[in-house]
Amino acid sequence: MAVVISPAATSALDDFLAQRAALSGASENTLKAYRSDLLDYLVFMTRHKGGPQGIAPLTAVSVSDMRAWMAHARGTGLGARSLSRKLSAVKSFYRWLAEHEVFDPTAVLSARAPKYQRKLPRPLPEDAARAVLDTVELQSQKDWIGARDTAVMTLLYGCGLRISEALGLTGKDAPLAPTLRIRGKGGKERLVPVLDAARDAVDTYLRLCPYPQEPDSPLFRGARGGALNPRQVQKVMEQTRLQLGLPASATPHAMRHSFATHLLSAGGDLRAIQELLGHASLSTTQTYTEVDSTRLMEIYNRTHPKA
């Protein structure tokens, strides 16, 4: 039987998401995740309380109600990391709701996220990253598509771009300038230096691309001329990984991880790397120092006579 969420709660959810989009510049994917997480929460509270939960009942949620929701979520097989994400969405919603409805949201905000082992980024070794750039073009029978895939991968590894950022480039970005102005997560802008290798790779692709480049058209085209789909980038990386015998962790995003880790290994400044990656928090970038330390310990344990 379908659960009916109260119109007041639905309206509040819509208003919250609209504010997130307007003020925080949240991406479409982020907003979809927020909506899904909050709808799951509202559905549970509707069932838990035995009826649609308007604004007043939502403001009266207790600590025991929150514990019941979290226990239910874990009981469905939800992992600690995913539950932490859902709890973060609920807390953000309640902070906003408390400002508009003037109530004390402590019962919700005091809920503690479950502890979980944070996964470290899994970058590729330098020789493997170079091998990917040398091999990715071989996955296509058409020269222009091979050049396109090489250009995209070079931007991920050479400039530290996310897939969405690379595929978000348009005709007006070509030819690539010495620096790119990238709008990343949350609408955060950053300047990214462009290596000669990345510029040359994009220039080669543009010379071979059969579709005309217009200022507002996507820079990277699919086989039929539309915008290149991220799934196609993932697919060609899978083919390259299998050809090179690389682990399953060798994904397009791993090229961005490799960019950061290799810069750090070469003595790069952590703050500078944070800016290049577009991380809002330094703590996110600091995970790469853990990766580097782990790699050093592996080398030590493998090579030291007393290890």
Give the residue numbers marked as catalytic.
Answer: 162, 185, 253, 256, 279, 288
The token pair at 10 is 């639905």
The region, left, alpha or beta by phi > 0 then psi within -120 to 50, assigned to residue 197 is: alpha
Say if CB 90 and CB 38 are below 8 A apart: yes
Question: In the chain, how many H helices and how many E strands?
Answer: 14, 2
CA separation for the pair 18, 38 (Å, rounded): 14
Rounded Cα distance between 271 and 145, Å, is 36
What Rg, from alpha-carbon coordinates, does the chain have? Answer: 23
Return the structure tokens found at 183. 């709008």
What secondary structure does DSSP assign to 220-278, as a single string?
SB-TTSSBPPHHHHHHHHHHHHHHHT--TT--HHHHHHHHHHHHHHTT--HHHHHHHHT
Task: Report the C-alpha gap between 258 and 127 in whole angstroms.
Answer: 11
What's the one-letter identity of residue 191?
L
